[in-house]
Amino acid sequence: MLNDVVQSFLFNRLQVRTADNEFARNILPDSVFFDRTNSSGTSLRLRHSLTGSYEMQFDSSSSLKISAHGSAGQNESSYNYQLSSTAQNGVPVNESNRLQNYNGESQSESISLFYSKKFKKQGQTFSLSLNQQYNSWKLNGQIIEGADFYGVLGNFLKTDSINQRSKEKSTALDASLRAAYTLPISLRSFLGFSYGYEYFDSRNHILNHSYNSITDDYTDPVDSLSSNFKYIYHIHSAGLSYRLVTTKINFSLGSTVLRSDFLRNDLWQDTTGRSTYFNVYPKASLKYKFSTSKNLSVEYNGSTIQPTIEQVQPLKDNSDPLTIRLGNPNLKPSFQHYFNVLYNSFRLLNSIYFFLGGQVTLVNNEVNTSYNIAADGRRTLKYVNTDNNYTAGIYGVFNMQIPKTVWRIGTGPILWVYRYTNYINNMENITLAQNLSWRFTAAARIPERMDLDLALQPGYRATQSSISKDASTG
């Protein structure tokens, strides 16, 4: 039996000072808002982490590896924001100044176990993996803001102010198991069987209080900004696959059946929601070798993406009082279709490398946003499911050595198009975007003397929204 132990310890201290200026345009069917944000701040993070692994080789056919990681950290930050919104004619809509202070601590630990076994029959294998990750954090926050609002003629209307403190405690446990067995049915073909289970348990408790001038303390509870929420899901999956391997072809085809059970428990409002979903994940891939230096690969797989606790928790988040975020407990998991094609070619004698790829990702029930923008510029954001979103792209590189020089030059396309859906003031808004560019590179290498890289990437970007096609950008 062979044993191998690896350990490491890391201490990290990161202090950051920031200054940002942002400009955004909000396009509505009948109006346009311009937002400007100037911000500055400092943050300090301290982090200790310990990592270790232990590997046992029982014999030539079986091994076990155990890995563990733990960390603890502290952080504090302070940020100042100056925000303003103006109408298209330059009339002010609102102006605000905000101070945010935070301090907190966090802990995390993870452990993984991986066992593998090769049987006497060639290609017959078994593997088992167990993983657990636990995170916890506490955060104390303070927000002080004053905001002025104006009428359609720029006349002053009112002032709103906020002076609040919050205490947040969150935990998240993610534990999973996966077993896989491969059975050869001939010298070149194999069947694969798999089973997986995942348990996820996330809890979030927030208490928010406003400043009381009589008591000179933060004693007035704000129920609308407080919460005690539990989000749990169980996922069972079973898969079957077929694989064929020859000197030219590596082909696989399979599918996974998945059942997801969700529990959403709002302890603050004393409500509980449950839901169950069944999904089928088809998967297929083909890699064809034209020669040792040329190959083509085609891949498809489907997968689901679970909503996060921040997205499903029915809580108002007023970290930006002019943009209130609301969770949605009725969110469904997203389903993603992924297609990829890639061609590679490398000529060793000429030192010429070429690849060209294409990728398409289609997402149904994707979690996006629904905005309601009031006349005074205040926004309420809620998470919703939307369909028919996609990303598609073509990318490639042709790279070669210039004979009798130390230079290599390259060029290739980076072409992407996007479609995504959200809602603005209860109207469906479909955004089409393009990001088209072409990259040129040059590099020179002289061992132990010079390392030089040059790159130029001119590009074109454009977006168009369905609710206001005349306001497209490019």
345 contacts: CB under 8 Å, gap ≥ 6: 293, 294, 352, 353, 354, 355
- Angle subtended at Cα 77 by Cα 73 and Cα 80, rounded to the nearest 5 degrees: 165
* pLDDT by 10s per residue, the chain, length 474: 556 777 899 999 999 999 999 988 877 777 788 899 999 999 999 999 999 999 999 888 999 999 999 999 999 999 999 999 998 888 999 999 999 999 999 999 999 999 999 999 989 999 999 999 999 999 999 999 999 999 888 899 999 999 999 999 999 999 999 999 999 999 899 999 999 999 999 999 999 999 999 999 999 999 888 989 999 999 999 999 999 999 999 999 999 999 999 999 988 888 898 999 888 889 999 999 999 899 999 999 998 888 988 888 877 777 777 888 888 888 999 999 999 999 999 987 778 999 999 999 999 999 999 988 887 788 888 999 999 999 999 999 999 999 888 899 999 999 999 999 999 888 899 999 999 999 999 999 888 888 899 999 999 999 888 887 665 555
pTM for the full predicted model: 0.82
Adjacent-strand bridge partners of 19: 40
Structure tokens at 343: 């061609």
